[in-house]
């Protein structure tokens, strides 16, 4: 899955990853690709000493064992590859900078959620086009409509045989802000709106400040249900009881085969 566009897109991707892991019982890794400004560590109340920077800037050392050390566990089924959120390095990365990491993750974890930052580089484009599923998160206003159209047109042109992008409207119903109606937004893009996430400054602000997911602050609420809906659409799974299966079970099995 890739997610891009719109204010709060990272928050959406983090909550969807949580829903995949917790509600659908699928082992999941969320990868924060915003090395300089990523917020996944804050959102999950994690401050790991290592993360994605070590994987990207030392690819010759990257293997299953190293990846295991870099992942930070958020729950039984969810792990995070966090961004350092530091400005000690510039990020003029080559187009294939993340390919080795993505290949390793695909081989070891059933679900990988990429939190793609709001940038346009060779590696961001490649990550978007090569994702199994694309979620475009957009606000109900003109600039987001334009950006969403560009992203959806790009995906359609470069992924003719793959599933089309999914559209999520975010921060809908902000007081005193004129908005483009969901039906008009959908018609302009030629794509259905998968779900709309209401604007709720109190709920999202509380979750962000506490390092929690929306479902932890307001379990069973409509917004939490919207994230489960997105998760189910992406994975083709319905809600399931949580199992005791370890997140790293596929990784451990692979290492045992090599031993």
Write out pLDDT tens, residues 41-83.
Answer: 999 999 998 899 999 998 889 999 999 999 999 998 999 999 9
Report how far apart, in Å, the C-alpha atoms of 109 and of each of 33, 78, 137 are: 17, 10, 24
Retrieve residue 27's tokens. Answer: 């082992």
Confidence grade of residue 244 (pLDDT, cut at 50, 70, 90)? very low
The predicted structure's pLDDT at residue 34 = 94
Q: Is the pLDDT of residue 257 over 70?
A: no
CB contact at 8 A, 129 and 95: no
Q: Is 171 left (phi over 0), alpha (psi -120 to 50) or beta?
A: left
**So what's the pLDDT on residue 243?**
46
Is the Cβ–Cβ distance between 144 and 5 less than 8 Å?
Answer: yes
Measured in whole angstroms, the distance separating CA 8 from the mean position of its chain's CA atoms is 11
Burial classification of residue 253, based on how many CB atoms lie within 10 Å of its CB (0-12 exposed, 13-18 middle, 19 or more buried):
exposed
Alpha-carbon gap, residue 239 to 248, rounded angstroms = 21
Region 99-104: what's the mean pLDDT? 95
pLDDT > 70 fraction of the chain, expressed in percent and rounded: 89
- Of the segments 3-7, 9-13, 111-115, which one has the largest average pLDDT value? 111-115
Residue 245 has pLDDT above 90, yes or no: no
Helix (H) or strand (E) holding 253: helix 249-258
* pLDDT in the model for residue 163: 87
Overall average pLDDT of the 126-140 stretch: 95
- Cβ neighbours of residue 70 closer than 8 Å, sequence gap 6 or more: 48, 50, 51, 52, 54, 55, 81
Q: Which residues contact 160 (CB under 8 A, 6 or more apart)?
A: none
Alpha-carbon gap, residue 237 to 23, rounded angstroms: 10
pLDDT of residue 101 exceeding 80, the answer is yes
Does the pLDDT at position 192 exceed 90? yes
Q: How is the chain split into domains, by residue range?
A: 2-258
Fold (topology level) of 2-258: Rossmann fold (3.40.50)
Tell me what pLDDT residue 226 has: 96
Q: Which residues lie closer than 8 Å to 61 by C-beta, 6 or more apart?
A: none
Percentage of the chain surpassing pLDDT 90? 80
Residue 161 has pLDDT above 90, yes or no: yes
Contact call for residues 77 and 27 (beta carbons, < 8 A): yes
Residue 64: its H or E element: helix 64-70
Tokens representing residue 169 in the block: 């409207």
DSSP secondary structure code for residue 76 in this structure: S
- Is the pLDDT at 149 greater than 80? The verdict is yes
Res 18: pLDDT: 96
pLDDT level of residue 5 (50, 70, 90 thresholds) = very low
Predicted pLDDT of residue 92: 87
- Please list, in sequence order, all residues whose beta carbon lies within 8 angstroms of the beta carbon of residue 90, skipping any fewer than 6 positions away: none
Q: How far apart are CA 30 and CA 80, in angstroms?
A: 5
**Angle ∠(64,61,112) on CA atoms, nearest 5:** 40
Q: Mean pLDDT across the chain, nearest whole number?
A: 90
* Intra-chain end-to-end CA distance of the chain, in Å: 32
Q: Is the pLDDT of residue 145 over 70?
A: yes
Give the pLDDT score at 6: 44
């Amino acid at each position: 899955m890739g997610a891009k566009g719109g204010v709060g897109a990272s928050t959406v991707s983090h909550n969807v990853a949580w829903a995949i892991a917790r509600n659908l019982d699928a082992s999941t890794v969320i990868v924060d690709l915003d090395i300089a400004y990523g917020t996944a560590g804050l959102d999950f109340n994690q401050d790991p000493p290592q993360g994605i920077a070590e994987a990207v800037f030392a690819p010759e050392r990257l293997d299953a064992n190293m990846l295991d050390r870099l992942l930070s566990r958020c729950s039984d089924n969810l792990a995070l590859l966090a961004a350092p959120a530091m400005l000690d390095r510039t990020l003029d990365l080559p187009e294939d900078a993340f390919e080795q990491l993505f290949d390793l993750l695909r081989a070891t974890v059933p679900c990988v959620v990429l939190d793609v930052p709001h940038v346009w580089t060779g590696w961001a484009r490649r990550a978007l086009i090569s994702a199994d599923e694309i979620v475009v998160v957009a606000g109900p206003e003109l600039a987001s409509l334009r950006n969403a159209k560009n992203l959806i047109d790009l995906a359609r042109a470069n992924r003719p045989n793959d599933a089309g992008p999914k559209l999520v409207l975010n921060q809908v119903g902000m007081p005193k802000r004129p908005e483009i109606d969901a039906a008009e937004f959908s018609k302009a893009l030629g794509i259905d709106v998968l779900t709309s996430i209401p604007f709720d400054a109190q709920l999202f602000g509380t979750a962000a400040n506490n390092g929690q997911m929306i479902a932890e602050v307001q379990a069973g609420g409509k917004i939490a249900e919207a994230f489960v809906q997105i998760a189910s659409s992406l994975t083709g799974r319905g809600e399931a009881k949580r199992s005791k299966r370890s997140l790293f079970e596929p990784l451990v099995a692979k290492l045992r085969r090599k031993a």
